[in-house]
């Protein structure tokens, strides 16, 4: 392995750095985007039960904010539950945009790695071929070891860039799809709570106080 890295030249260093960073992002995002951490099961039902039992005080809402992304979205609506439906939805949407941004953390970096890694490999190819042609112009085609060194650098950096880029791109697409799925479900659960609250409200209860 070390021989391959040395043969690839100095461009192997940023390619290896990209691979380490991509792996760290994928592991961190897979942990952060687990469904039970973002959308705990039965959370909306528990909140609704506490609302009906009139036990959802400020302390409970504060705990809900610390619970999960879905909890923070629900808390934003619950704080404004005495206001109109539109005011509740606006508060939920504002918090939802913030939580969506948090769920998408580091994904742009991962996408950038997927795009840059093959370009680094291509740059290594160009540098390797420049070395080959430089050797040919200086010594002719009779110095096979020197020619092989340039060709080896060109091929190794290209392959290394692709080895990093392909899994990074696959992980980026998967994580982006997972984030979109979680955001849609979060919106649906928050909307169910809003509809349940306003269906129980007496006529005229949706006005601002």
Q: What is the pLDDT of residues 42-86, one digit of tens each?
A: 888 888 888 887 777 788 888 888 889 999 998 888 888 887 888
* 156-208: pLDDT as tens digits: 888 999 999 999 999 999 999 999 999 999 999 988 888 888 776 554 444 44
Q: Is residue 160 part of a domain?
A: yes
The per-residue pLDDT for 146 is 59
- Would you state the pLDDT for residue 163? 94
Residue 206 lies in a domain: no
**34: phi then psi, degrees, rounded to nearest 5:** -65, 135
Task: Tell me if 62 is assigned to some domain.
Answer: yes
Is 115 among the domain residues? yes
In a domain, 163, yes or no: yes
Angle at 65 between CA 63 and CA 67, to 5 degrees: 70
Question: DSSP alpha helices (H): ranges in 104-143?
Answer: 107-139
Q: List for the chain the helix, strand, coil content (%; round to 5).
A: 85, 0, 15
- pLDDT at 150 exceeding the cut of 70: no
Q: Do the Cβ atoms of 43 and 159 come closer than 8 Å?
A: no
CB 146 within 8 A of CB 85: no
Inter-helix orientation angle 43-52/144-200, to 10°: 20
- Phi then psi for residue 120, to 5 deg, are -65, -40
**Which residue in 163, 161, 155, 159 sits closest to 131, CA to CA?**
155
H/E element, 5: helix 2-8
pLDDT, greater one: 146 or 173: 173
Tokens in use for 169? 């791109």
Question: For residue 6, is it within any domain?
Answer: no
- pLDDT of residue 37 exceeding 60: yes
Q: Is residue 209 part of a domain?
A: no
Range of the domain at 131: 13-199
- What is the DSSP code (8-state) at residue 207? S
Rg of the chain taking only CA atoms, in angstroms: 27
Q: 102-138 pLDDT, tens per residue?
A: 999 999 999 999 999 999 988 888 887 877 777 666 6
Domains of the chain: total: 1
* Number of H-type helices and E-type strands within the chain: 9, 0
Q: Residue 94 falls within a domain, yes or no?
A: yes
Res 28 pLDDT > 90: yes
Burial class (CB in 10 A: 0-12, 13-18, 19+), 108: exposed
Give pLDDT, residue 7: 66
CB 183 within 8 A of CB 101: no
């Amino acid at each position: 392995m070390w021989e391959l890295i040395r043969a690839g030249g100095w461009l192997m260093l940023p390619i290896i750095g990209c691979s380490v960073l991509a792996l760290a992002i994928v592991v961190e995002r897979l942990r952060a985007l687990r469904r039970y951490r973002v959308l705990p099961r039965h959370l909306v039902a528990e909140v609704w039960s506490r609302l009906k039992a009139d036990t959802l005080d400020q302390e409970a809402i504060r705990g809900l904010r610390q619970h999960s992304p879905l909890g923070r979205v629900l808390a934003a609506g619950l704080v404004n539950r005495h206001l109109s439906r539109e005011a509740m939805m606006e508060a939920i949407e504002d918090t939802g945009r913030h939580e969506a941004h948090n769920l998408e953390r580091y994904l742009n970096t991962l996408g950038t790695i997927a795009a840059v890694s093959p370009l680094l490999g291509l740059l290594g190819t160009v540098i390797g071929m420049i070395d080959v042609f430089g050797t040919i112009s200086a010594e002719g085609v009779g110095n096979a070891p020197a020619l092989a060194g340039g060709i080896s650098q060109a091929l190794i950096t290209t392959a290394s860039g692709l080895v990093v880029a392909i899994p990074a791109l696959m992980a980026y697409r998967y994580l982006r799809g997972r984030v979109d799925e979680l955001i849609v479900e979060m919106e649906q659960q928050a909307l169910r709570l809003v509809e349940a609250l306003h269906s129980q409200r007496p006529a005229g209860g949706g006005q601002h106080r």
